Amino acid sequence: MATLSAAQARDLARLYHELATTLGRYRFDNWDDLTKARRASIEAIERSLLSASSDFTVIAINLALDDVDPVLKRIKRVTKRMTAAVKKLKRTDKVIRMAEAAVKLTGAILSGAPSAIASALDEAIRASK
Amino acid sequence: MGRWLRRFVYTACFNALLVGLSACVDTSAVRRFATVSSTASEQFEEIADDLPAACMRQHRYLALADSQITLEGVRSRAEESCSDYVTLARRLNGANQVLVSYLKALGKLAEDKLVVYDKRIEDVADALADNDMFDAEKIGAVERLAATLSNAVAGEWRRKQLKQTVEEANPDVQILVAALRDVIDEDYTRLLDVEGEAAKHYYLGQIKEYGAGEPLTVPLVFEKWREADLAVRDKQGAAALSVKILDKIAKGHQKLYDNRDKLSSKEVHSLLMEYTVVLEDLVYDFEKLRDAF
């Protein structure tokens, strides 16, 4: 059996909706000329057509989602890699902070100022934690 | 202090200066675009959740128009007819969440501090040039230079990651956004049309059937019909905005892809800011229609 595509399901949903609308317009425009039984049968067809339209809509969306399934998997993979990259960046930031502290400590030692050395040492210890 | 140590520090600082100057990376516009896009994409959830609700409303009208059915029957018939939509909404939200997560991750990756090249770097260069022993001021300069170098190196790495990500993801992002856009523009909009038609089917049917015998009830039924129609129109307005939002996200991401080799350029910055501002306006307009859901 041939399978339906999302576009075909959408076409059917549109077609059923248009048919229901046309029938509804006909029923209301000719209300007094139609017998009660005739109106009831047209109304029942309208209901079926509107229901069928929303049934084909749900099929269309599901088929469209089936189509993008491999795309979703690939985007998830890229997102996972980006998240890992951001984590790596955070780790890099830690290394950078340690490097900065080391430079500061070097500078403090070169200056020979005890207070600067003490402060830089504290910072270096904090950065390495 | 040993001469070798001073020479080591000087060399390191000059290298830092050179690398830093060549790697000014500002991806703040990418970050802002991605962040606003992810916020905008989250609004899709309102629409996905309204799909089963729209189906239920439609089937309630259709069941109510059927004089053979009881009120309990109206509810159960609507629920039965729309059970597939409940599953579908979860699936759609899942697909949209993939887009939101991607955009959020892109925003985080682009989150950097602008590397500032100002007079401080020149001060350091001068300080190193005069070959004096370090004093407190120069120590500060060395610190700042180290920070500049760090940011520049991290920024450069980040820029490469962004380029690679945008390059790889763009075709799939375009397909996914187009699919979500079609669901709103075609399927959801038609479902709302069908709901409107079902409301007309019920209310106008009541007026035609019983209006002549109970003329006083006609304005009340008309009012109910008008309210139902307005609710549908508001939702259609929100759907139209959502389509515009997705279009902007797709076009903005395409621009990112087209300019992936110069993501931190001024040209890309201003281009993305245009998209971001329009997206912010669309999100604001959508918020005003949120009560429709």
Read off the pLDDT band of B14 (50, 70, 90).
Answer: very low
SS3 of B110, please?
coil
- Which pair of tokens denotes residue B182? 């079609």
- Cβ-based contacts of A74 with chain B (< 8 Å): 169, 172
- CA B282 vs. chain centroid, Å, equals 11
Closest in B65, B136, B200 to A116, CB measured: B136
pLDDT digits over B139-174, tens only? Answer: 565 556 566 666 666 677 778 888 888 999 999 999
Q: Is A5 left (phi over 0), alpha (psi -120 to 50) or beta?
A: beta
In the predicted model, is pLDDT for residue B117 greater than 60? no
Does B59 contact A51 at a Cβ distance shorter than 8 Å?
Answer: yes
Does B194 contact A17 at a Cβ distance shorter than 8 Å?
Answer: yes
- Cβ-based contacts of A68 with chain B (< 8 Å): 95, 175-176, 179
pLDDT digits over B238-291, tens only? Answer: 999 999 999 999 999 999 999 888 887 888 888 888 889 899 989 888 888 877
**pLDDT tens over chain A, length 129 residues:** 468 899 999 999 999 999 999 999 999 999 999 998 999 889 889 988 999 999 999 999 999 999 999 999 999 998 988 888 887 777 666 666 666 676 677 777 767 777 777 777 777 666 655
Does A47 contact B66 at a Cβ distance shorter than 8 Å?
Answer: yes
Does A79 contact B98 at a Cβ distance shorter than 8 Å?
Answer: yes
Q: Is B163 on the interface with A (CB under 8 A)?
A: no
Distance from CA of A69 to the nearest CA of B (A): 8
Q: Is A26 on the interface with B (CB under 8 A)?
A: no
Rounded mean pLDDT of chain B? 80
Q: Is B212 on the interface with A (CB under 8 A)?
A: no
SS3 of B184, please?
helix
pTM of the model: 0.76
- Cβ-based contacts of A113 with chain B (< 8 Å): 136
Distance from CA of B197 to the nearest CA of A (A): 7
- CA B223 vs. chain centroid, Å, equals 37
- Which pair of tokens denotes residue B90? 């979860």
Distance from CA of B157 to the nearest CA of A (A): 9
Q: Could you tell me which chain B residue has the CA closest to the CA of A108?
A: B139
Range of weakest confidence among A78-82, B51-55, B121-125 = B121-125
Mean pLDDT, residues B53-75: 82
Q: How far is residue A109's CA from residue A104's CA, in Å, rounded to a whole number? A: 9
User: What backbone phi and psi angles, to 5 degrees, belong to B203?
Assistant: -70, -45
Percent of chain B with pLDDT over 90: 30
| Residue whose entry in the numeric block shows the structure tokens 């939200």 | B93
According to the model, what pLDDT value does residue B290 have? 78
Query: Of A93, A98, A96, A106, which is closest to residue A123 (Cα–Cα)?
Result: A98
CB distance B125 to A97 below 8 Å: no
Does A47 contact B150 at a Cβ distance shorter than 8 Å?
Answer: no
Could you tell me the residue ranges of all domains in chain B?
A: 29-111+164-292
- CA B287 vs. chain centroid, Å, equals 14
A-facing residues of B in 17-76 (CB < 8 A) are 51, 55, 58-59, 62, 65-66
Q: How far is residue B70's CA from residue B82's CA, in Å, rounded to a whole number? A: 18
pLDDT digits over B186-225, tens only? Answer: 999 999 999 999 999 999 998 998 888 888 888 999 999 9
Q: How far is CA B232 from CA B199, B226, B228, B287, B293, in A?
A: 10, 10, 6, 17, 10
Q: Could you tell me which chain B residue has the CA closest to the CA of A79?
A: B102
Does A75 contact B99 at a Cβ distance shorter than 8 Å?
Answer: yes
End-to-end CA distance of chain A: 65
According to the model, what pLDDT value does residue B120 have? 46
Does B183 contact A64 at a Cβ distance shorter than 8 Å?
Answer: yes
Does A54 contact B81 at a Cβ distance shorter than 8 Å?
Answer: yes
**Across the A/B interface, how many CB contacts are shorter than 8 Å?**
169
Q: How far is CA B49 from CA B45, B61, B118, B207, B241, in A?
A: 6, 19, 51, 32, 16
- Cβ-based contacts of A46 with chain B (< 8 Å): 201
Q: How far is residue A50's CA from residue A39's CA, in Å, rounded to a whole number? A: 16
Q: Is A90 on the interface with B (CB under 8 A)?
A: no
